Amino acid sequence: MRTCFKVRRIQTAFLFLTIAGLASAQARDWNKPFPAHKVIGNVYFVGTGELGSFLITTPQGHVLINSDFETTVPIIRASVEKLGFKFSDIKILLGSHAHGDHMEGDALVKEYTGAKVMAMEQDVPALRKMKPGGKEHPIDRILKDGDEVKLGGTTLVAHLTAGHTKGCTSWTLKTQEGGKTYDVIILGSIGVNPGYILVNNKDYPQIADDYIRSFKTLRAMHVDVFLASHGSFYNLDEKYPKLGKQEANPFIDPAGFQAHIDLKEKEFYTELEKQKKAE
């Protein structure tokens, strides 16, 4: 019995080390620098090659969406400053969902800026467990579906688009450019990650229903500018080189938004049926 127990302990320790190693490798890969740029109006990209972080500027300070990994924060800070803004002027910090690649850096951003950290209520338990370097995860305001976050004349709306996490949040706002008003979305995620349990999930019984609700919610939205928590979701690599080189802003892409929903919804139902058959 003692031998078996020791073996299990060694196997468990090895598993945690493997997961930590994979997370570290992922952070290094996803932290590859990407040019900071104005997307449209008062919306700026300040993330990396894969991690979508956005600065919403206002006369009374700024909103940052997604702090990403803690190791990403210096990259975000450099991007903000390259655009001519002060990192210390960030007054509000929001996030897409309670995964380390989007909200692990919240405590460090708050330490640097004093920003108020806000999060969807269903993600709070998971965020409380997110303690890089032992830091407590700051949460200054708990949000509900449809809540508004206002600063300097800009209003952001928190939409619960659950499934990927229980509190996965998609943010919408209106911005102006060239005398026109555009509806912007920063999509959380509607992807089904490897290993997600969609059928008889004891920890998240309503996961499949939440995904279905989220697809319906998002499909009903009017979206002009499609952005997301990962650059690959909205084809950042393809669109950025076209910025300023053609009359139309490449990030104005309502068709691309609907196509992304179509793709992820199809992937979801394929996986759901697969898991149902395996039961």
Q: Per the domain annotation, does 6 fall within a domain? A: no
pLDDT band at 252 (very low <50, low <70, confident <90, very high): very high
Q: Per the domain annotation, does 102 fall within a domain? A: yes
Enclosing domain of residue 124: 32-278
pLDDT band at 18 (very low <50, low <70, confident <90, very high): very low
Measure the CA–CA gap between 276 and 279, rounded to whole angstroms: 5
The neighbouring-strand residues paired with 170 are: 159
pLDDT band at 52 (very low <50, low <70, confident <90, very high): very high
Q: Per the domain annotation, does 26 fall within a domain? A: no
pTM: 0.90
Residue 258 backbone phi and psi in degrees, to 5:
-65, -35
Kind plus residue range of the DSSP H or E element containing 22:
helix 2-30
pLDDT tens sequence across 204-215: 999 999 999 999
pLDDT at 247: 82
The domain that holds 93 is classified in CATH as 3.60.15.10
Q: Per the domain annotation, does 7 fall within a domain? A: no
Interval 205-232 mean pLDDT: 98
Number of H helices, E strands in the chain: 8, 12
CA of residue 138 relative to chain centroid, distance: 17
pLDDT at 28: 62
Residue 14 has pLDDT above 60, yes or no: no
Residue 13 has pLDDT above 60, yes or no: no
pLDDT at 27: 61
Residue 55 has pLDDT above 70, yes or no: yes
pLDDT at 29: 83
Q: Per the domain annotation, does 229 fall within a domain? A: yes
Interval 245-273 mean pLDDT: 96
Instruction: Tell me how many domains the chain contains.
Output: 1
Q: Per the domain annotation, does 2 fall within a domain? A: no
Question: Taking the chain, what is the end-to-end CA distance rounded to the nearest angstrom?
Answer: 33
Q: Per the domain annotation, does 14 fall within a domain? A: no
